[in-house]
C-alpha cells in the first residue's frame, strides 16, 4: 500500500454510521395545496432499516377548511372522507413518536418537512431537526441525464421497478419512495457511499475525493490551535518542495478541519485548495488568544496563497506633520523619524479623508511647497478664500501657524473634542438648508476620524506597557497571558489551584520584547488589537502590571454623546435638529 493510500485509509471512528444500521422513516403528505395557509389531509410513512420494513403509519387528517376541488380530483381525497378523521393536533404527536430518532426521507423533502415543522410549531412540539434525505436531490446526483427524463416520483418508480405505483395517496407514494430509496442506495454504494454521512454529503455534491481526505482530521486534537494545509511536490532535481496553502485557527481543531471535507464548506477557492492539498498539520495552543496570534504571525510570514485576510498586516497608512518651518500634513506608510503622527488607516483614501477633516477644523496649509521662514511667497487660492492662514506671506499667518500646529498635535495626543466641535456651524447650516447629502459626508468623515482616534490610543496604551499579566476563566480553568509592549510574549492555561504558579512560570519563560520606536506596539497592529479585545472581555483579571494601561480622558466620549458633541446644545425654544445626517 502506498503512503498516500495509507493516509486516506479511514479508521473505524471515521467511517460514520453504516447505512445498513440507519433507521429511515420515508414520509409523504397530501395537503390542501402548497400555500402557507394550506393544511395536511393525509400522512403516510414507512419505517425501514437494512432493507426491511419495520412498520407503517397512515391516517387521513381533518383540515379546518374544505379541500379545493382540483386537489380532490388529484388525490381522490374528498371532504366526506376527512370529515370524521382526526385533526392534526392528534396525528402529529403520534407521527413524532413513530419517527423518533429516525432519518426522515421524502421525495422533494422541503415540501413535506416544511408542513411537518410548521405543524409541530403550531402544536408547541419541538422540531427534532432530524437528518433529512431528499430522494429528488439524491437522484439528480446519482443518475445520468440519459437514464431518466426527469426526477418525478412516478418516473423514478418505473426506473427502479417499484412494487407500488405512486398515485398521490400518502402511503402508496411513501411505499414507492422506499423502493426508489433502496434503488438509489444501491447505485451510490458503487460510488463509495457507505455511511449516512457519505449519503448526506453526496446529495450535497461533495466529491468523493474531498470526502476521502477527511481522515486528515483524525489526528487533530479537540482543543485550540492553528491548522495549515500543505502541498508537497517533487521538483525535477528530486528535492521535495513544501508550500503552505492556507492557515486557520479554531478552538476545536478536529471539528474545524473535518468541516473542510463536508458540505458545510461552500467557498469555491477553499474547494480548490483542498483539492491540491496533500496534507494538513496542526499547532496546538494553550489558549484561544494564542491560536489567534499564531495564525496572524504565520499568515504574515508565509503569505499562503489561499488566505485573503491579514496577509499585509504592515501595509498601513498614517498622517504625520512634516518637519518644515511651516509643517503640513503628509500621508505616509513609514513613520521613520516622525514626532507627531496619527493613524493607522487601512487605505490611503481613509487617510486623505482624515486629512480633509483636519483641514476643515484647522486652517493648515495644503500646498506641498517647502516654504522659507525668511523669504515670503505669494498666497494661494485657499489663503484668499480664508481656508488657510497663509504662513507663506510671513505675516500674521506665520505668527499664528505654530499655535495651529500645536493644536493639531494636541488633538492627536488625546483630545478629540476640538475636531468634532469644529464643524458645528457648518453642520447646522447644512441641516437647516436640507443639504443632507453634504451633511452626511461631513458626518461620515467625522465618524471615521473618531474611530481612528480610539484605535490610535487603544494600541498606543498597550505599546506603552512593559508588561501585563492577565487571566480569564475558561473551560481549562484559567487562560493566562503575558503581554509586553502590545505583543503576546507567553500563553498558558491552568486549573484554579495552579493559576498563580502557572502565571509565574509564564513570566519567567516569556519572550523578551523591546519597546518599538514611535511608541507603537512591538507586534503588528492587528495582533495588538486582538490582544486589546481579549483584555476588554468581561471577567479578565490582572495579575501583574508594569506601567500604566490608560487612555487620555478625552480620547473618547460617553455612549450617545457623539451627535451632541458635533451639533452642540440645542437653543432653548427650538425643535431639536434632525440626527439623521449623523448616521451618514
- pLDDT one-digit tens code per residue, 232-265: 887 666 677 889 999 999 999 999 998 888 776 7
Alpha carbon distance 304, 316 (integer Å): 20
User: Taking the CB of residue 276, how many other CB atoms lie within 10 A of it?
Assistant: 12
pLDDT of the residue at 572: 36
Q: How confident is the model at residue 266 (pLDDT cuts 50, 70, 90)?
A: confident
| Helix (H/G/I), strand (E/B), else coil: 456 | helix
- Taking each helix axis from N to C end, the angle separating 436-463 and 525-535, rounded to the nearest 10 degrees, works out to 80
Kind and range of the H or E run holding 352: helix 348-361
Catalytic residues: 168
Q: Which segments of 237-291 are extended strands (E)?
A: 240-250, 279-284
Whether residue 423 contacts residue 446, with contact meaning beta carbons closer than 8 Å, is answered with yes
Alpha carbon distance 292, 226 (integer Å): 8
Q: Which segments of 50-86 are extended strands (E)?
A: 52-60
pLDDT of the residue at 570: 59
In the predicted model, is pLDDT for residue 144 greater than 90?
no
Between residues 191 and 520, the one the model is more confident about: 520
User: Taking the CB of residue 577, how many other CB atoms lie within 10 A of it?
Assistant: 17
| Helix (H/G/I), strand (E/B), else coil: 507 | helix
In the predicted model, is pLDDT for residue 472 greater than 70?
yes
Query: How many Å is the maximal CA-CA distance in the chain?
Result: 106
**pLDDT of 522-534, one tens digit each?**
999 999 999 999 9
Question: What are the counts of helices (DSSP H) followed by strands (DSSP E) for the chain?
Answer: 22, 15
Rounded alpha-carbon distances, angstroms, from residue 29 to 77, 89, 101, 171, 272:
12, 15, 20, 9, 40
Average pLDDT, rounded, for the chain: 88
Whether residue 156 contacts residue 148, with contact meaning beta carbons closer than 8 Å, is answered with yes
Kind and range of the H or E run holding 133: strand 132-134
Alpha carbon distance 219, 282 (integer Å): 9
Q: Pick the closest to residue 487 from 335, 338, 294 (CA basis).
A: 294
In the predicted model, is pLDDT for residue 578 greater than 60?
no
Rounded alpha-carbon distances, angstroms, from residue 465 to 502, 510, 548:
21, 15, 6
The domain ranges of the chain are 19-202, 207-302, 317-453, 465-546
Alpha carbon distance 576, 207 (integer Å): 61
Strand-pair category, 341-345 with 467-474:
unpaired
| CATH class assigned to 207-302 | alpha beta
Q: Which segments of 50-152 are extended strands (E)?
A: 52-60, 103-106, 132-134
| Helix (H/G/I), strand (E/B), else coil: 491 | strand
In the predicted model, what is the mean pLDDT of residues 542-551?
Answer: 91
pLDDT of the residue at 458: 94
HEC secondary structure over 175-243: HHHHHHHHHHHHHHHCCCCCEHHHHHHHHCCCCHHHHHHHHHHHHCCCCCEEEEEEEEEECCCCCEEEE
pLDDT of the residue at 39: 94
Alpha carbon distance 342, 354 (integer Å): 9
DSSP 388-418: S--GGG-SHHHHHHHHHHHHHHHHHHT--HH
Strand-pair category, 132-134 with 103-106:
parallel
pLDDT of the residue at 583: 30
pLDDT of the residue at 191: 76
- Strand order of the β-sheet with 240-250 is 240-250, 225-234, 279-284
Instruction: For domain 19-202, give its CATH number from 3.40.50.720, 3.30.420.10, 3.40.50.1820, 3.40.1280.10.
Output: 3.30.420.10
pLDDT of the residue at 577: 39
| Residue whose grid cell is 489561499 | 306
**pTM recorded for the entire structure:** 0.70
Whether residue 467 contacts residue 482, with contact meaning beta carbons closer than 8 Å, is answered with yes
- Taking each helix axis from N to C end, the angle separating 436-463 and 348-361, rounded to the nearest 10 degrees, works out to 110
Amino acid at each position: 500500500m502506498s503512503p498516500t493510500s495509507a493516509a486516506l485509509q479511514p479508521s473505524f471512528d471515521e467511517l460514520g454510521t453504516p447505512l445498513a444500521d440507519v433507521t429511515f422513516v420515508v414520509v409523504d403528505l397530501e395537503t390542501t395545496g402548497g400555500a402557507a395557509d394550506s393544511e395536511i389531509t393525509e400522512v403516510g410513512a414507512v419505517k425501514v432499516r437494512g432493507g426491511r420494513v419495520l412498520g407503517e403509519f397512515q391516517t387521513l387528517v381533518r383540515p379546518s377548511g374544505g379541500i379545493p376541488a382540483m386537489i380532490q380530483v388529484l388525490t381522490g381525497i374528498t371532504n366526506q372522507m376527512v370529515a370524521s378523521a382526526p385533526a392534526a393536533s392528534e396525528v402529529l404527536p403520534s407521527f413524532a413518536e413513530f419517527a423518533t430518532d429516525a432519518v426522515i426521507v421524502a421525495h422533494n423533502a422541503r415540501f413535506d418537512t416544511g408542513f411537518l415543522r410548521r405543524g409541530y410549531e403550531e402544536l408547541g412540539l419541538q422540531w427534532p431537526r432530524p437528518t433529512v434525505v431528499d430522494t429528488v436531490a439524491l437522484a439528480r446526483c446519482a443518475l445520468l441525464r440519459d437514464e431518466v427524463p426527469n426526477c418525478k416520483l412516478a418516473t423514478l418508480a418505473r426506473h427502479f421497478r417499484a412494487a407500488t405505483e405512486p398515485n398521490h395517496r400518502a402511503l402508496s407514494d411513501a411505499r414507492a419512495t422506499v423502493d426508489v430509496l433502496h434503488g438509489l442506495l444501491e447505485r451510490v454504494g458503487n460510488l463509495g457511499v457507505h455511511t449516512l454521512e457519505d449519503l448526506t454529503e453526496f446529495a450535497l455534491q461533495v466529491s468523493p475525493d474531498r470526502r476521502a481526505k477527511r481522515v486528515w482530521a483524525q489526528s487533530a486534537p479537540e482543543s485550540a490551535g492553528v491548522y495549515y494545509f500543505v502541498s508537497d511536490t517533487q521538483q525535477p532535481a528530486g528535492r521535495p518542495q513544501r508550500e503552505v496553502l492556507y492557515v486557520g485557527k479554531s478552538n476545536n481543531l478536529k471539528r474545524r478541519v473535518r468541516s473542510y471535507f463536508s458540505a458545510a464548506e461552500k467557498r469555491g477557492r477553499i474547494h480548490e485548495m483542498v483539492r491540491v492539498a496533500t496534507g494538513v498539520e496542526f499547532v496546538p495552543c494553550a489558549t484561544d488568544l494564542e491560536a489567534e496570534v499564531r495564525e496572524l504571525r504565520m499568515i504574515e510570514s508565509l503569505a499562503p496563497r489561499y488566505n485573503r485576510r491579514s496577509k499585509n498586516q504592515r501595509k498601513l497608512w498614517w498622517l504625520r506633520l512634516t518637519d518644515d518651518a511651516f509643517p503640513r500634513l503628509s500621508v505616509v506608510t513609514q513613520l521613520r523619524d516622525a514626532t507627531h503622527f496619527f493613524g493607522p488607516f487601512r487605505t490611503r483614501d481613509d487617510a486623505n479623508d482624515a486629512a480633509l477633516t483636519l483641514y476643515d477644523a484647522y486652517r493648515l496649509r495644503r500646498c506641498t511647497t517647502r516654504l522659507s521662514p525668511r523669504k515670503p511667497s505669494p498666497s494661494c487660492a485657499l489663503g484668499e478664500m480664508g481656508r488657510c492662514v497663509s504662513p507663506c506671506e510671513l505675516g500674521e499667518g506665520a505668527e499664528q501657524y505654530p499655535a495651529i500646529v500645536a493644536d493639531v498635535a494636541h488633538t492627536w495626543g488625546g483630545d478629540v473634542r476640538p475636531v468634532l466641535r469644529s464643524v458645528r456651524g457648518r453642520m447646522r447650516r447644512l441641516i437647516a438648508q436640507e443639504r443632507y447629502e453634504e451633511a452626511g459626508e461631513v458626518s461620515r468623515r467625522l465618524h471615521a476620524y473618531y474611530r481612528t482616534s480610539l484605535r490610535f490610543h487603544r494600541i498606543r496604551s498597550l505599546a506603552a506597557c512593559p508588561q501585563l499579566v492577565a487571566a480569564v476563566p475558561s473551560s481549562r480553568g484559567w487562560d493566562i497571558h503575558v503581554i509586553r509592549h502590545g505583543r503576546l510574549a507567553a500563553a498558558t492555561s491552568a486549573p484554579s489551584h495552579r493559576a498563580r504558579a502557572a502565571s509565574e512560570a509564564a513570566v519567567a519563560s516569556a519572550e523578551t520584547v523591546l519597546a518599538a520606536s514611535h511608541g507603537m506596539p512591538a507586534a503588528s497592529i492587528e495582533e495588538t488589537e486582538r490582544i486589546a479585545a481579549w483584555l476588554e472581555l468581561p471577567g479578565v483579571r490582572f495579575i501583574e502590571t508594569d506601567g500604566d494601561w490608560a487612555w487620555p480622558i478625552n480620547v473618547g466620549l460617553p455612549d450617545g454623546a457623539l451627535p451632541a458633541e458635533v451639533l452642540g446644545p440645542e437653543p432653548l425654544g427650538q425643535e431639536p435638529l434632525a440626527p439623521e445626517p449623523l448616521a451618514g
